[in-house]
Structure 1
Amino acid sequence: MWFRNAQIHRIAPWTPAQEQLLDALLTQHFRDPTSAELQTCGWTAPFEGGDFAHCVNRQILLTYRSEKKLLPGSVVNQVTRAKAVELEEQQGFKPGRKQMKELKEQVTDELLPRAFGIRRDTRVWIDPVNRWLVIDTASPARADEVRHLLFKTLDITLLNVELNEAPVAAMTSWLVANEAPGGFTVDQDVDLRSNMNEKATVRYLHHPLDGADVRQHIEAGKRCTSLAMTWSDRISFVLTDAFVIKRITPLDILKDAADPAESEAEKFDADFVLMTAELARLIADLIEAVGGERADERPLLG
């Protein structure tokens, strides 16, 4: 149930009626691709047999689903070349650029029905109370797909989270001072990247970060672009320079605190309530740790 990643957005004040929300999601529901389609996407129920919007404690969970057929370009090109040879023998000369393009399109149409489909789900948590929208992905491209369908489906405004201090500057200062902000501890994974050359990167994994070698890299001009941390002994995670939270892991103290549940539906609800409560506090504390938010919220374009 727990999200593994968090791409965080502010939302403008938004209080949808549940019936209207469900109706809107159904207009963009997921369906299997036809034999002629390479990819489809849409909304599906987060819990099997449930509604398309799973609402508990004024928190909303959505699931974006996509299916893409795997049709390697090398296979298409190989079959196209073979057909081009046959065509050359028939007409007595090599097919031109236009013929090759048409031949490739024909081959793609022929192979699509036999292509293997990969289905992926991405969850979206909407918190109308604290005005957060969080996408469970570390991929910017995947987040773009989800946002595109959100804008197409719902009358919702997403806002950039405008921070008073850049995450890079904040994380670098924590390493230099060898002191994490209140409520947080620094763990043992870090990426340090040069401002002058993006390829010049030093990565430490499972390595103490309070040594002189880390500070020497910073003195040489590198900045922290990814840092593993733990919040309140409850959640471990990695913070990136884009203020994306990755590798979210609830620790034992939270697992022990989970309410016992009899059915799968009750367990799903209990996990969702616990996760949203904890992540809302983590996000608030993390924003405070980087100096808070600026008031000039700018909307993301759909």
Structure 2
Amino acid sequence: MWFKNARVYRLSAPLSTDLAVWETALAEFKFSPLTAQELVRSGFSFPLHQSIKQYCHALDALLFFAVKRQEKILPAAVINEEMQPRLDALEQEKGRPLSRKEKQALKEELQLSLLPRAFSRSSLTQGYYDAKNQWLVINTSSASKAEDILALLRKALGSLPALPWLDNHKLNTNLQLWLQNKALPQGFELGNDAELKAPDEEGAKVKFSNHLLSADDVQSHLQDKLVTSISLQRNDSLSLQITDDGALKRLKFHDLLTGQNDELGWEDLPARLDADLLLMAQALNQTLLSISQQLAAE
């Protein structure tokens, strides 16, 4: 349950914190497996464990949820292999090359015929609503996946006034400063990874990994490029990479933090999961507060 990434949204109006309301709302849009002719389907699932059958889990001022997505796997190579003989036969029958529209229709027809035989794969994405700070935090680095989850939450809850948690202009300005080791969020140190991109049409890029970012060969790029991502470390709790659109990637919680509850063991699964969730959310929320407060101070 330790998040590996985070897309964060701030709410302009509070959501209900009534667990029964959430449970009923999410259960109405619960996940059910794909039918033979469906390509993809999403729905709410159990955020803690399949043996703990709750669609929403409350912990302090936090409400945890999860969305399960199932999709059929249709590799392009398989589609092309099946399509070529049909394409050749149709063109021979008509005595002319098929138009682009006809090829697309043929491809869609072929995909439908292959769906019942296709394998499927599933993924589970967790998130939580922080009623104290009015944040939604979703465990993904993908903006499109996060938006899909927001759309499903909006269907279930009826209203979801969510906006990106950071002002992009302020963030972009601060990324430039942070690479210079200036005005870092409280408790943070500069990491060893960064990516920069030129703002012109060519968009030249440069990437540094496990590199001393204060070195001249890094700093010189600030003259003609903008920072698109940078790694930061927070004391003994976690490290992360923050990108210019506000995503937190490569979240890594330090062993000193993740091992704090080892003495509890796993015999009481709900208690152990609760303890780990609380540790993770506290560390992540402290990180979000430090970053957002630093930008607000500018």
Using structure 1 for the length normalisation, give the TM-score: 0.87
Question: Which residue does the alignment assign to 1:267?
Answer: 272
Equivalenced residue count is 291
Report the alpha carbon displacement of residue 233 of structure 1 after superposing the two structures with TM: 2.5
SS at match of 2:236: coil
Q: Does residue 143 of structure 1 match 2:146?
A: yes
Report the alpha carbon displacement of residue 162 of structure 1 after superposing the two structures with TM: 4.5
Identity of aligned residues (%): 30
Q: Does residue 242 of structure 1 match 2:245?
A: yes
Counterpart CA distance in 2 for 1:170 and 1:101 is 46
Question: What is the letter of the counterpart of residue 109 of structure 1?
Answer: L
| Unpaired runs of at least 5, structure 2 | none
Question: What is the letter of the counterpart of residue 149 of structure 1?
Answer: L
Question: What is the letter of the counterpart of residue 50 of structure 2?
Answer: E
Report the alpha carbon displacement of residue 158 of structure 1 after superposing the two structures with TM: 1.1
Question: What is the letter of the counterpart of residue 264 of structure 1?
Answer: L
> For the Cα contact (< 8 Å) 1:4–1:249, is it kept in 2?
yes
Structure 1 residues 158 and 102, CA gap change in structure 2 (3 angstroms): closer
C-alpha RMSD over aligned residues: 2.4
> For the Cα contact (< 8 Å) 2:17–2:63, is it kept in 1?
no
Q: 1:57 aligns with which of 56, 60, 66?
A: 60
| Unpaired runs of at least 5, structure 1 | 294-302
> For the Cα contact (< 8 Å) 2:197–2:225, is it kept in 1?
yes
Q: Which runs of 4+ in 1 moved over 6 A?
A: none
Question: What is the letter of the counterpart of residue 188 of structure 2?
Answer: F
Question: Which residue does the alignment assign to 1:251?
Answer: 254
Structure 1 residues 3 and 94, CA gap change in structure 2 (3 angstroms): same
Counterpart CA distance in 2 for 1:255 and 1:109 is 46
Structure 1 residues 250 and 111, CA gap change in structure 2 (3 angstroms): same
SS at match of 1:82: helix
Using structure 2 for the length normalisation, give the TM-score: 0.88
> For the Cα contact (< 8 Å) 1:125–1:134, is it kept in 2?
yes
Question: Which residue does the alignment assign to 1:37?
Answer: 38
Counterpart CA distance in 2 for 1:271 and 1:223 is 37
Report the alpha carbon displacement of residue 167 of structure 1 after superposing the two structures with TM: 1.8
Q: 1:66 aligns with which of 65, 69, 81?
A: 69
Structure 1 residues 292 and 114, CA gap change in structure 2 (3 angstroms): farther
> For the Cα contact (< 8 Å) 1:6–1:134, is it kept in 2?
yes
Question: Which residue does the alignment assign to 1:300?
Answer: none
Which range moves more in the overlay, 258-267 or 26-35? Answer: 258-267
Structure 1 residues 195 and 93, CA gap change in structure 2 (3 angstroms): closer
Structure 1 residues 146 and 57, CA gap change in structure 2 (3 angstroms): same
> For the Cα contact (< 8 Å) 1:169–1:223, is it kept in 2?
no
Structure 1 residues 105 and 163, CA gap change in structure 2 (3 angstroms): closer
Counterpart CA distance in 2 for 1:36 and 1:291 is 49
Q: 2:127 aligns with which of 110, 124, 127?
A: 124
Question: Which residue does the alignment assign to 2:207?
Answer: 203
Question: What is the letter of the counterpart of residue 156 of structure 2?
Answer: T
Question: Which residue does the alignment assign to 1:10?
Answer: 10
Structure 1 residues 78 and 157, CA gap change in structure 2 (3 angstroms): same
Counterpart CA distance in 2 for 1:88 and 1:4 is 50
